[in-house]
Structure 1
Amino acid sequence: MLKKILPVFIVVLIASCGDDDDSNLEIVPPRLLADQIIEDDAAIQEYLATHFYELQTDPVFGGQRVVIDTIAGDNAGKDPMINDANLGTKVVNVSSNQVNLVEEENDIPHTLYYIIAREGEGISPTVADSTLLKYEGYLLNRTKFDAVSDFVWQELPNFLRGYANGIAELTSGTSEGLVQNGDGTSYYNDSGIGIIIMPSGLGYFLASPSTAIPSYSPLVFTVEVGNIIENTDTDNDGVPSILEDLNGNGYLFDDNTDSESELSAGVFARADFQDTDDDDDGIPTRTEISDAEGNIIFPYPGSENGGVPDYLNPDVQRDPNDN
Structure 2
Amino acid sequence: MKYSLLAIICAFLVSCSSGPEKDFSTINEKQITDYIKANNLEATKCESGLYYTVDEAGEGVKPTSASTVQVAYRGSYLNGEVFDESSERGISFPLKRVIKGWTEGITYFKEGGKGMLLVPSHLGYGPYDTRGIPGGSVLLFDIHLIEVKK
The answer to which structure, 1 or 2, has the higher relative contact order (CA under 8 A, 6+ apart) is 2
Q: Which residue of 2 aligns with 1:195?
A: 116
Number of aligned residue pairs: give it: 135
Contact 1:136 1:147 (C-alpha < 8 Å) held by counterparts:
yes
Matching residue within 82, 85, 88 for 2:44: 88
Deviation at 1:26, TM superposition (A): 6.7
What percentage of aligned pairs have identical amino acids? 27
Task: Report Cα offsets for 1:202-221 as digits up to 9, x if no partner.
Answer: 0001343322x111111110
- Which position in structure 2 is the counterpart of 1:128? 66
TM-score normalised according to structure 2 size: 0.83
Runs of 5+ unmatched residues, structure 1? 1-24, 52-79, 93-110, 173-190, 231-323
Find 1:29's aligned residue among 16, 19, 22.
Answer: 19
User: Mapping of 1:62-101 within 5 angstroms?
Assistant: 80-81=40-41, 84=42, 87-92=43-48
| Residues 43/129 of structure 1: CA separation in 2 closer, same or farther (3 Å cut) | same
Q: Following superposition of structure 1 onto structure 2, how do residues 99-178 of structure 1 map, counting pairs within 5 Å?
A: 111-149=49-87, 150-172=89-111
Q: Which amino acid aligns with 1:169?
A: Y
Kindly provide the amino acid, as one letter, of the partner of residue 97 in structure 2: N
Q: 2:135 aligns with which of 207, 212, 215?
A: 215
What is the SS of the residue equivalent to 1:142? coil
User: Does structure 2 retain, via aligned residues, the 8 Å contact 1:134–1:148?
Assistant: yes
Q: Letter of the aligned partner of 2:143 in structure 1? A: V
C-alpha displacement at 1:114, in angstroms? Answer: 0.2
Q: Distance in 1 between matches of 2:63 and 2:20?
A: 33
- Equivalent in the alignment of 1:9: none
Q: Distance in 2 between matches of 1:154 and 1:30?
A: 34
Give 1:89 shift: 1.7
Contact 1:156 1:164 in 2 (8 A): yes
Task: Name the structure where helix makes up a greater proportion of residues.
Answer: 2
* Matching residue of 1:42: 30
The runs of at least 4 aligned residues of structure 1 exceeding 6 Å deviation read none
2 CA distance for matches of 1:156 and 1:43? Answer: 26
What is the Cα deviation at residue 29 of structure 1?
2.2
Residue 229 of structure 1 deviates from its aligned partner by: 2.1
Match of 2:74, SS? strand
Structure 1 length-normalised TM: 0.40
| Residues 162-311 of structure 1 aligned to structure 2 (within 5 Å) | 162-172=101-111, 191-211=112-132, 213-230=133-150
Q: Is the 8 A contact 1:30 1:206 kept in 2?
A: no
Residue ranges of structure 2 left out of the alignment (5+ in a row): 1-14
SS of residue matched to 1:132: strand
Looking at structure 2, the residues matched to 200 and 115 of structure 1 have their Cα atoms a distance apart, in angstroms, of 18
